[in-house]
Amino acid sequence: MIQVKGKTGEQLRKRAEDIAVELATKLKDPKTVSGAIQDKENFIMHNGVKHYPWEPLSLSHGYPAMCVAMAEMDDFRKSSGWDLAGHDYVLGIKEEIEKHGIHSLSMWSGLAGILLGIHALSKEGTRYKGFINQLIDFFCEMYPAELEKTMAKKDLGMSDYDVIEGWCSTIGILLIFKEEEWAKAALVKILSYLVLLSEDKEVMGIMVPGWCISADPSSSDSGPMAKFNCGMSHGIAGVLAAMAICLKEGIQIPGQRHAMHKISDWLCSHTRYDEYGVMFPSIISWEEEVNKDRSKSEDYHRDAWCYGSPGAARAMWLAGEGLHRDDLKEIALDAFLAAFSKPMKKWNIYSPTFCHGFSGLLRLTHLMYQDSGNETLRIERDKLLNMIVDMYDQDAPLGFYDHNFSDNAEKKIVNLGMLEGVVGILLTLISIYRKPVTSWDLAFMINN
């Protein structure tokens, strides 16, 4: 449980919203953003290689995230020129596409995220019609063959299906356009793939759930055997959330409900218990699934959107709503409350950002409070909000740092995107007291 003494009520709301405006004002100026992000020391090392947090065409680290931020601010603080600032970032997207093209259909590094950003600024499709239609045409041209390639693969990888790079990552933008025939057709085909993914398959002579991930022989830490990812970002919880949100949006195909029941029951069967209560693991090893041997299971646990109980529990709650199963909603709520029963240091999250940080936990907690009405979640939500507000740093180039690891050493870097950057924090801050207008929750598969 968080031990925080801070602002409450209107005082907390004002401080959070004032910080959001300060963040957006920094983001409004391309020169400020460029100088902060492209500083020569603003990198992290991974296996001896420098990685800079700038990918212009990605929702995770680039212009599309800025478009979403400016669109939300245009609704939040009207007549302040936010949409004009957003227009500059749309032009940046156009220029980058003309120079480098689009090499992914995904939400976080490709076309789906670009469409999300531009649609956010389109005033319900009344602006950027030509550009949006060009992007849609490109998606319709490319996705059938790409989906066929995925379905023909013998070995399953996380990026084939997941919420970050896989087919689940395209579902959010398709739901935004769900009234259009091209989007309906694509949703049916992608859901059909996800239903197929849920069917058992034979691996090494043993029948196992279809979401069994092949061992990666090039990775030193993946282990010699296949495994099962339970997380929201890269695992089967994300698939469950995507199917559940489609169901809530009235998109249903044969086998979808059965697949949701199967995944939900499987996740429930692998819950674990400690002195704080129930929790969802991140990874299930081959030995645990096949031989019921947990001796080689990964014990590391994080309480975040990407991995751990909060993300998986949110997926379970959404499935419970779609399937009218109170047992799923009950275990989801229990897992959330158990997370808040722990000392905060056991969460294993340190950054104010969304993916594996406090903003993601805050947004999830707020949504769960809205849906369940559980008063403990409201209290913990406000504590989280106070914590993030207190992490605001006026001296930081963009107001907050991403607390990351550079070859296992902690390092603070400037990151602007939705996944691990300032935009994700800004969107979370202004989503507590008003409903988002851009459907950005769909990028994370946490709400429709």
Which structure tokens are listed for 360? 């993601």
Residue 444, helix vs strand vs coil: helix
Question: Any bridge partners for residue 404, and if so which?
Answer: 411
CB 392 within 8 A of CB 17: no
Annotated ligand binding at 246? The verdict is: no
Q: How far apart are CA 163 and CA 240, in angstroms?
A: 10
Euclidean distance between CA atoms 346 and 368, whole angstroms: 21
Under 8 Å CB-to-CB from 381, ≥6 apart: which residues?
362, 365, 366, 369, 432
Q: Is 306 annotated as a binding residue?
A: yes
- Contact call for residues 72 and 16 (beta carbons, < 8 A): no
**Sign of dihedral through CA atoms 10, 13, 17, 19?**
positive
Counting every residue, how long is the chain?
448
Nearest CA to 401 among 10, 14, 11, 41?
A: 41
The answer to whether 87 and 81 are in contact (CB under 8 A) is: no
Chain centroid to Cα 16, Å, comes to 22
* Residue 82 burial class via C-beta count within 10 angstroms: exposed 0-12, middle 13-18, buried 19 and up: buried
Bridge partner residues of 277 (DSSP)? 274
Question: For residue 124, how many other CB atoms are within 10 A of its CB?
Answer: 7
Q: Are 419 and 355 in contact (CB under 8 A)?
A: yes
With CA atoms as reference, report the closest residue to 440 among 29, 133, 59: 59
What string of DSSP letters covers 295-312? TT-------SSSSSHHHH
Does residue 256 contact residue 248 with C-beta atoms inside 8 Å? no
Q: Is 67 marked as a binding-site residue?
A: no
Distance CA 24, CA 422 (A): 9
Annotated binding site for Zn(2+): 306, 355-356
Annotated binding site: 306, 355-356
